[in-house]
Amino acid sequence: MSWVADYEYTWLERIFMRALRTCGHIPKHVAFVMDGNRRFARSQQIDKIEGHSRGFSKLADCLRWCLDLGIREVTTFAFSIENFKRSSEEVEGLFNLARDKFGKLLKETDRLNQHGIRIRVIGNIELLPLDLQKLVATAMLTTEDNDKLFLNVAFSYTSRDEMTQALETVLQQSNNSISGSNISERLLEECMYTRHSPAPDLVFRTSGETRLSDFMMWQLSGSVLYFSNVLWPQITFWNFLASILAYQRDRYRLDKFRQAEHIRSAQLAWSSDFHSEGVQQFLHSMDEDRRKLLVRLASSKM
């Protein structure tokens, strides 16, 4: 199963897709919380890991729909740090699935390059087994020149961990290029894993759960939240379409909120000297350090 499905649209889906593309406002960034894989597996009397594997196939369909609709960025919650508490059998099964999918990804880089897809794994990847760290680092470096669709896979991720990491990064630099008066929301935001992404416009969670579960809590403050009872492996084009329509209905309020946030953020940046040479140098070297870590992981001997 490829990361981007060869999805065969029905004629009705094709008509709706075209109408949506030409008439409505398309979100730039959509986030998916893929929930309900195990309930699906139970309902079908299949193994849990087969449920997760079917979930991956749906992610590939979603990516195809997003690509065809002109969505530029997709973030998906694939493995929470909380998921380490699941049985070792399930955790190992999920890691094996990830090994398989990232391994296949490296074999289909031509296809990803053709679509211009850049993969970014966001999360605390150093908590993962070493071979998986190497695989995800290689996948990120291999696709780093692509810029048509950004796929952020949240793997070994929680929002609280992301915020803690951001604060640690800043504190390591304090008394050096950063002083206390430089610390602001704007600076912390730039130290998140999502530093190079706009905030999601829409987040879509399946399975009837109406919680964020420690996913992008910083970034989602102004996003349209869409919840559906469908279990993730059963998601269809029509569920996806319903989420986009919900976004189109609610986006006016979102725009107002964003405008106010934009002004507030500019004021914060000004009052905390965000644009000073020291702060910008710090951010630049943080990017370099993050890339160096990927190069080190990708070239590590197994």
- Tell me, yes or no, if 149 is annotated catalytic: yes
Distance between CA atoms of 80 and 219, rounded to whole angstroms? 16
Residue 98 binding ligand FPP, by CB under 6 A = yes
Alpha-carbon gap, residue 153 to 19, rounded angstroms: 29
- Residue 284 is a catalytic residue: no
Pairing relationship of beta strands 117-122 and 149-157 according to DSSP bridges: parallel
Angle between the N-to-C axes of helices 237-271 and 11-23, in degrees from 0 to 180, rounded to the nearest 10: 20
Place of tokens 């955790």: 91
| The one catalytic residue among 20, 29, 52, 294 | 52
Please report, as residue ranges, which positions from 25 to 84 form the binding site for Mg ion (by CB under 5 A).
35
**How far is the C-alpha of 49 from the C-alpha of 29, rounded, in Å?**
28
Which of the choices ligand FPP, Mg ion, none does residue 52 contact, using the CB cut-off of 5 to 8 A by kind?
Answer: ligand FPP
> Would you count residue 165 as binding ligand FPP (CB under 6 A)?
no
Q: Binding of ligand FPP at residue 39 (CB under 6 A)?
A: yes
Residue 136 in the binding site for ligand FPP (CB under 6 A): no
Structure tokens at 104: 């296949």
86 — phi, psi (to 5°)? -70, 170
Choose which of 74, 153, 224, 244 interacts with ligand FPP (CB under 6 A): 153
- Binds ligand FPP (CB under 6 A): choice among 52, 118, 134, 186: 52
Q: Which of 20, 29, 35, 63 is catalytic?
A: 35
Binding residue for ligand FPP, selected from 4, 30, 34, 128, defined by CB under 6 A: 34
Phi-psi region of 75 (alpha: psi -120 to 50; beta: other; left: phi over 0): beta
- Residues 275 and 269: beta-carbon distance below 8 Å: yes
Choose between 48 and 186: whose C-beta lies nearer to ligand FPP.
48
97 binds ligand FPP (CB under 6 A): yes
- Residue 15 beta carbon to ligand FPP: minimum distance, rounded to whole angstroms: 29
- The token pair that represents 107 in the structure block: 């074999």
Q: C-beta of 191: minimal distance to ligand FPP in Å? A: 24
Positions 207 through 236 that interact with ligand FPP (CB under 6 A): 207
Catalytic residue among 59, 94, 135, 149: 149
The option from Mg ion, ligand FPP, none interacting with 134 (CB < 5 to 8 A, set by class) reads: none
Q: Is 275 assigned a catalytic role?
A: no
**Cα(254)–Cα(9) distance, integer angstroms:** 31
**109 contact partners, CB below 8 Å, separation of at least 6:** 142, 143
Distance CA(25)–CA(102), nearest Å, equals 33
- Site residues, Mg ion (CB under 5 A): 35
- Site residues, ligand FPP (CB under 6 A): 34-39, 52, 55-56, 59, 78, 83, 97-98, 101, 153, 207
User: Hey, which residues are catalytic here?
Assistant: 35, 52, 149
